[in-house]
Amino acid sequence: MPIGFWLSLETVFSSSIRKHRASESSRCTAWTSLANFIPYNSTALSRPRAIATAALAAEMVGGMHRTLDITVEYAKTRKQFGKPIGIFQAVQHQCADMYLETESARSAVYYAAWALEHHAPDAAAAVSIAKLYASDASRTVSNRGIQVHGGMGFTWENDLHLYYRRAKASETMFGDATFHRERLARLTIDVEALSAQRA
């Protein structure tokens, strides 16, 4: 985070900002209270929060894609029993599942971004779907990548552990999958209840 941005936040919120050590070191995080500035039940931050959530889901898709690339490359070059491990069906299935999860999450994120840009009526639901799917998929893809790498996947010599830690940290930011499932259910049930009342 740029120093100027941090200083301007400190001057706005004075002592209400506390730096927070994240589980992975590539992201600077902080805690603050907006209680004096924005009412708790205000919808003033709903669109910026939705945009940030969709952006985080897109970042998670990028991490999944990189994890897949690293894993496929490793499966092509690592030899066991005199053959690359990528020719074994179990490894191929792991990589195929990683690809499926990554592309499905990418599709959900693309639609969420489109819905936000065009102010679609289902934009909030699309963002929740993208985030909940990306949260689950990033965990699964990271776990499968480490599984294919074996013990090598979580060593400092391999960058895979960085993507794993980033996926775990991003999984709970702006709400985990359970939060977004509940939010999606609330959005769906509320719409159905309003439709029933109008009829």
The pLDDT of residue 103 is 96
Q: Are residues 165 and 69 in the same domain?
A: yes
Model confidence over 10-20: pLDDT tens digits? 444 444 556 65
* Residue range 156-190, pLDDT digits in tens: 788 888 889 999 999 888 888 888 999 998 888 87
Say whether 21 sits in a helix, a strand or coil.
Answer: coil
Do 112 and 183 belong to one domain?
Answer: yes
81: left (phi over 0), alpha (psi -120 to 50) or beta: left
pLDDT digits (tens, 9 = 90+) for 128-155: 999 999 999 999 999 999 998 887 777 7
Could you tell me the pTM of the whole model?
0.77
Q: Which domain covers residue 90, as residue numbers?
A: 46-198
Chain mean pLDDT for the chain: 80
Q: Which helix (H) or strand (E) holds 80?
A: strand 79-80
Q: Do 65 and 158 reside in the same domain of the chain?
A: yes
Burial of 194 (0-12, 13-18, 19+ CB in 10 A): exposed
Q: Are residues 36 and 51 in the same domain?
A: no
Between CA 78 and CA 70 the distance in angstroms is 12
Q: Rounded to a whole number, what is the largest CA-CA distance in the chain?
A: 70
